[in-house]
Amino acid sequence: MNKFNKVTEIIDSAKSLDSEFEDILELSKTCKFSNCTHTTEPECSVKKAISEGTLSIERFNDYYATKEESQYVSKKKNKTKAIDYMKKLKLFR
C-alpha cells in the first residue's frame, strides 16, 4: 500500500471512530472533564469501566491507538513525513 492510501485510511478511521467505538464515547460523556483523555485524569468513567471489567483494556487500547494516530496525521501538514515519523516510532499497527 502506498503512503497516500495509508493517510486516507487513517483519516477515514478517525471519522469512523464515533460509530465504531460508541460504547467508549458514551462512557467518556460521563467523565469529569469533557476533554478527558482517559489516561491520567481523576474520576474518569472509561478507566473506571476498565477497572470494573465492563470495558476491555484491549478495546480501549485499540480506540486510543486509532485516535492518536489519526489526530497526529491529520494535524501534520506534511502527511508523508508524519507517516515516516510514526513508522520510526512503530506507532503503526
Which residues are at the interface with Zn ion (CB under 5 A)?
Answer: 31, 36, 38, 44, 46
Question: How far apart, in whole angstroms, are the C-alpha atoms of residue 67 and residue 91?
Answer: 12
- Closest to Zn ion by CB, 38 vs 50, is 38
- Closest to Zn ion by CB, 20 vs 76, is 20
Q: How far is the CB of 27 from Zn ion (least distance, A)?
A: 7
> Do 13 and 70 form a contact (C-beta atoms < 8 A)?
yes
Question: How far apart, in whole angstroms, are the C-alpha atoms of residue 3 and residue 76?
Answer: 14
- Closest to Zn ion by CB, 44 vs 73, is 44
Q: Quick one: cell of 27? A: 462512557
Q: How far is the CB of 60 from Zn ion (least distance, A)?
A: 10
